[in-house]
Amino acid sequence: MGSPLGSPTKYRQLLMALSSLSLIALSANAEPLELWFDNPADAWETALPLGNGRTGAMVFGGLEREHYSLNDHHLWSGGPVPGNEGSPEILEQVRQAVFEGSYNEADQLWKGMHGPYSARYLPLGDLFLEFPSNENPVGNYKRSLDLRNALSSVSYEQAGVDYKRESFISHPDQLMVVRLSASEAGKISFKAKLTSQLNSTVEVKATNHLILKGKAPAYVAHRSGDPREQVVYEPEGEGMSFEIHLRIFPQGGECLSEEHSIGVTNADEVLLVLATATSFNGFDKSPAFEGKNPARVTEGIFNAVPEYDWDILYDRHLTDYTELFGRVELDLGSVPDLTTSARLLKYHEGNDDHDLIALYFQYGRYLMIASSRTGTPPANLQGIWNHRVQPPWGSNYTMNINTQMNFWPAEITNLPELHHTLFDFMEDLAVNGAKTANVNYGIETGWVAHHNSDVWAKTSPPGGGDWDDRASPRWSAWPMGGAWLTQHLWEHYLHTGDEKFLATQAWPLMKGSVEFLIAWMVEDTNGTLVTNPSTSPENVFRHDDVEMAISMASTMDMSIIRESFSNFLRASEVLGVEDELIDTVRTAMPRLYPFHIGRLGQLQEWYRDWDRPDDTHRHISHLFSLYPGNQISVELTPELASASIQTLIHRGDVSTGWSMAWKVNWWARLKDGNRALKILKEGLKHRSLGGTTYGNLFSGAHGVLQLDGNFGAPAGIAEILLQSYAGYIHLLPALPDAWDSGSVSGLVARGGFDVGMTWDEGKLQTLSIRSKLGGNCRILSKHLLTSADARLVPAKGRNPNPLLQQPDTVPWINNAEEATEELPGVSGTLYDFTTEAGKTYHFRATKTI
Ligand code: FUC
């Protein structure tokens, strides 16, 4: 192990200087990209998040007491519980009731399928640094989170001394690292304490090493009416163990340990490092009886640290982080010299702080890197940050939109590696999901997942078993979670061209899901293939004046199935696979219950036209094929696109954070950037103004934090600037009038093309495309393009690039009694040019066509 704050060797110094120089060069022209405040956080939701995918912290920046609210992504309640309490007999009864039109009875019968709720994601603990009280006035206070280097800083001046606290959480070293410094020697004194809301003890292992050890509850209730206790500990039974280790290295001064804390007095500078670990040992292992030893894990972390030197640790962190974060730049305007809180408030007074949108975009990418890294669970409902023992919705995986939305920015905003946390999670879901398919539905092929999951890869329908009257089929009767997730596998392939990934990881998961879907569907009286039971997530229809959830063939179900089948068939072509299942899917495809345009000209949500124009439900799942699916578009299915507009008009703009983020993506796909921006702006309204955004720019829903909106909006901002689902790359497809000039670089189109653009007065000026994989690049531009290094030709026929293909055409039935909404035109010149892998091509736009 290295020496505390030891002096680096000359060689290392040289290396560091060189690498810092290159980083400085990289960001020399870049505008500041930070959230900053002139006061300490007054609540958890105004503190600033740090994370490395596994360890998370919210930094408060208090003057006399610094508070780091800590998380470990693996720390969940309970252990592996399959929860498959349904049976094929119940399924048959439900089906029968639906076919007879007894939807209400189907709803009641379905409740027999309800297994337990998911486990809860838990808070790990808190690190407090208590400073001696000081009556002197404080000046120049600043609390910030710099997104360019994932560094939190707190600085202020008191009695002529400048104090600074800097913190980051390193992925390469798996440590939270804090440096306390002051402009005068001997000025740093504090007491460090560790606490947890969970059962735990604190011990001082050495004068500079503090440990908190705890055991998580075996069970945490989802609702207050749970007949079991709310929080159940089993000291000798199930429950995850966890540890927090804090080590302190002062320069000057000394460390003095007390019974449960460590004090530092009169130091010149202090380095603190903190490691977290749990006994989690995989989704199928009891953390109590087959778990890892968290003490060993932290020991391993400490042993691997090269040297306890701020510069060395920071440099490794920076190299790792900027390699991911630095891939994309977005410039929408100048940065005002205002705190983030002031910007949020002023934005709604009508000022044109377009840079706030760019900041929000990059914040989403930052949060992704902080909450999903190799070997960690995928970002959950709150990413990785949670301070409640009973967080809203258990801070779990809600897979009827929220989990998927967390990963929408992964490909287009150039962070494809992070997507693998989701893919690895799907492998666990596929194991449990095969059991759920079998036990609950009698299906022996493939895998299924419902709308909730957790670190134990739960796949069974939740609902509290037989005790919860409030449990509802409108969310539990939805076996489409797994199938939706498989779309992410195919999109990853289209953006990266990674055939090995497609063959080894994606294909088995896609195939397993398709096997389930084939076995799940049944024929209606016309011989059409439908899902039964079926819901449109969380919404209800009125039938015989009663609200009901279960019927058959919701548009959402059929859209996911159609998209899954299409992706599956395309993947089979790439991989050259031929087997019986492929023929079965080919035959099933034209027999799927088609889209319907309802009497009001809307895209119909249900099997029958039960849609209501006054329904403003936040889930608009029937627009799945417009986004994130690709089968409805202005270009290829204008009638369905127009019906989608009608649906969006009925539903209105304002809703929960994630719902608005989805709407931004839909309006971008509908090429209406002005409407998309209007909703983005609505989504960025501070809570004090009746909006859903917290002071630290966290997104909210139903008055609580949900990070999905923070991920969905950046994906939508990217879709405003670049789209590539229709067989070509569409440049600036939905640029809002208000973003008259700007630039973006590093967005990724299908086919593995990195795209950079500048625009002025709403018109494209320059374009650069780096081809990662080679192959034909097809672009649609509203402006004539010239290039010295690309041979542009007018595009003809089918795009020869297999990664940049048009979606399949889909059938629909139009029952509209009213005129449908008008569509914006998609015009421009379609160019082709051949690319070589690794080469960048530069273009100038001349005149508008
Ligand atoms: C779905 C949504 C809710 C919330 C929850 C986590 O159930 O309908 O709005 O986002 O997930």
pLDDT higher than threshold 80 for residue 13: no
Residue 260 has a pLDDT of: 94
CA–centroid distance, residue 618 to ligand 1 (Å): 9
The pTM assigned to this predicted structure is 0.96
pLDDT, one tens digit per residue, over 580-617 is: 999 999 999 999 999 999 999 999 999 999 999 999 99
Band of the pLDDT at 847, cuts 50, 70, 90? confident
Mean of the per-residue pLDDT values for the chain?
Answer: 95
d(CA 518, CA 452): 22
CA of 404 to the centre of ligand 1 (A): 12
Termini Cα distance of the chain: 65
Cα–ligand 1 centroid distance for 130 (angstroms) = 38
- Mean pLDDT of the 103-118 span: 97
> Ligand 1: distance of its center to the CA of 712 in Å?
14
The whole-number pLDDT of residue 509 equals: 98
Tens-digit pLDDT profile for residues 464-482 = 998 999 999 999 999 999 9
Q: Which of 184-188, 482-486, 507-511, 823-827 has the lowest mean pLDDT?
A: 823-827
**pLDDT score recorded for residue 848:** 65
Pocket around ligand 1 at a 6 A CB cut-off: 381, 393, 398, 402, 475, 538, 618-619, 656, 658, 701-702, 706
Query: Residue 680 to residues 78, 114, 256, 723, 730: CA-CA distances in angstroms?
Result: 38, 37, 51, 18, 21
Rounded to whole angstroms, the Cα distance separating 378 from 782 reads 39
Is residue 6 over pLDDT 50?
Answer: no
Tell me what the mean pLDDT of segment 75-103 comes to.
Answer: 96
pLDDT of 8 above 50: no
Which pLDDT does position 849 carry in this prediction? 62
Task: Assess whether pLDDT exceeds 90 at residue 12.
Answer: no
pLDDT in tens, 372-411: 999 999 999 999 999 999 999 999 999 999 999 999 999 9
- Band (819; pLDDT cuts 50, 70, 90): confident
Q: 821 falls in which pLDDT band (50, 70, 90)?
A: confident
Question: Cα(349) to centroid of ligand 1, in Å?
Answer: 30
Structure confidence by residue, pLDDT tens digits, 632-680: 999 999 999 999 999 999 999 999 999 999 999 999 999 999 999 999 9
Structure tokens at 191: 């007491």
Atom of ligand 1 nearest to the CA of 538: 8
Q: Ligand 1: which residue has its CA nearest to atom 3?
A: 701
Burial of 335 (0-12, 13-18, 19+ CB in 10 A): middle
* Across 793-805, average pLDDT: 96
Beta strands in 64-137 (DSSP E): 65-72, 125-130
Q: In which band, very low, low, confident or very high, does the pLDDT at 822 lie, cut at 50, 70 and 90?
A: confident
Q: Which atom of ligand 1 is nearest to the CA of 708?
A: 10
Which of ligand 1's atoms lies nearest the C-alpha of 659? 9
135-157: per-residue pLDDT in tens?
999 999 999 999 999 999 999 99
User: pLDDT value at position 818?
Assistant: 82
- pLDDT value at position 825? 77
Distance between CA atoms of residues 623 and 626, nearest Å: 5
Mutate to test the pocket of ligand 1, among 117, 386, 402 (most ligand atoms within 8 A of CB): 402
Residue 102 in this model has a pLDDT that exceeds 80: yes
- In order of 418, 488, 499, 500, 575, the CA distances from 504 in angstroms are 18, 15, 8, 6, 10
- Using CA atoms, how far apart are residues 461 and 224, in angstroms rounded to an integer? 20
Atom of ligand 1 nearest to the CA of 656: 9
- Using CA positions, which residue lies closest to atom 8 of ligand 1? 538
- Give the rounded percent of residues in the chain with a pLDDT score beyond 70: 96
Q: pLDDT tens for residues 162-201?
A: 999 999 999 999 999 999 999 999 999 999 999 999 999 9
| Among 118, 478, 706, residue to substitute to test ligand 1 (most atoms within 8 Å of Cβ) | 706
Mean pLDDT, range 77-105, rounded to an integer: 96
Q: What is the rounded average pLDDT of the residues 426-430?
A: 98
Residue nearest to atom 9 of ligand 1 (CA): 701
